[in-house]
A and B are shown apart, each in its own frame.
Chain A
Amino acid sequence: KNEVEQSPQNLTAQEGEFITINCSYSVGISALHWLQQHPGGGIVSLFMLSSGKKKHGRLIATINIQEKHSSLHITASHPRDSAVYICAPSDNNDMRFGAGTRLTVKP
């Protein structure tokens, strides 16, 4: 069993839809990161969270430490949100990576 499981692997949405990407992990962590990888390959860190919930603009990330589960939500999705989203739980700086969720938002 993988240490980090993301679902779905692929997601296609219409512009404006509410998006949820899920991440379950089996390792002990000090924090969990959500990363965004653009079609050109560049990686941007969206969130680092260790408890509760964080919000940046239309993006919301939540984590439940007891259940070892995190979700990334995108409200009012837009074609520019099309990217691969990667969940990365970490124990200090020892990071593990999910396989990623490829999101395509159609206009």
Chain B
Amino acid sequence: EAQVTQNPRYLITVTGKKLTVTCSQNMNHEYMSWYRQDPGLGLRQIYYSMNVEVTDKGDVPEGYKVSRKEKRNFPLILESPSPNQTSLYFCASSHTPDTQYFGPGTRLTVL
């Protein structure tokens, strides 16, 4: 089954404790991206990747890192999480340009 998976789905952590949210797709898509969704602000792009080893900043990259060592994986790294990074995070992938497939979302709470 074609899908985008994210792990974990829910995470509660404390300020400053490094964390990684994984994203994996099995559709051989070149393009992958990370978004965060906040009430009143909608979806905003954090980082995107056009292909392996090619990443670029979106609208709100501060406080986040990504890597694209393999085509199927695009992890989101928070080196030192802060409470303002509490949000709902979505990973998405597509052939470029094409319909995007979204992961199920990761709800992160930073205390």
Contacts and interface: CB of A to CB of B under 8 A. Distances in A.
Given A48-B99, A86-B43, A93-B33, A41 B88 contact: yes
Contacts of A98: 42
Nearest to A2: B42
A95 B45 contact: yes
Contacts of B81: none
B105 A42 contact: yes
A86 B42 contact: yes
A42 B42 contact: no
A33 B50 CA distance: 18
Size bin of chain A's contact surface: 20 to 34
Interface string A43-63: 111001000000000000000
Interface of A is mostly: strand
B74 interface: no
Contacts of B92: 43
Interface in B94-111: 94, 96-102, 104-105, 107
Contact of B100 (A30, A45, A92): A45
Interface in B1-59: 31, 33, 40, 42-45, 48, 50
Contacts of A43: 90, 92, 102, 105
A100 B39 CA distance: 11
A103 B105 CA distance: 21
Given A41-B88, A98-B42, A100-B42, A93 B101 contact: no
A13 interface: no
Nearest to A100: B42
Interface string A66-107: 000000000000000000001010101111011110000000
Nearest to A45: B99
Nearest to B32: A93
Interface of A: 30-31, 33, 35, 41-45, 48, 86, 88, 90, 92-95, 97-100
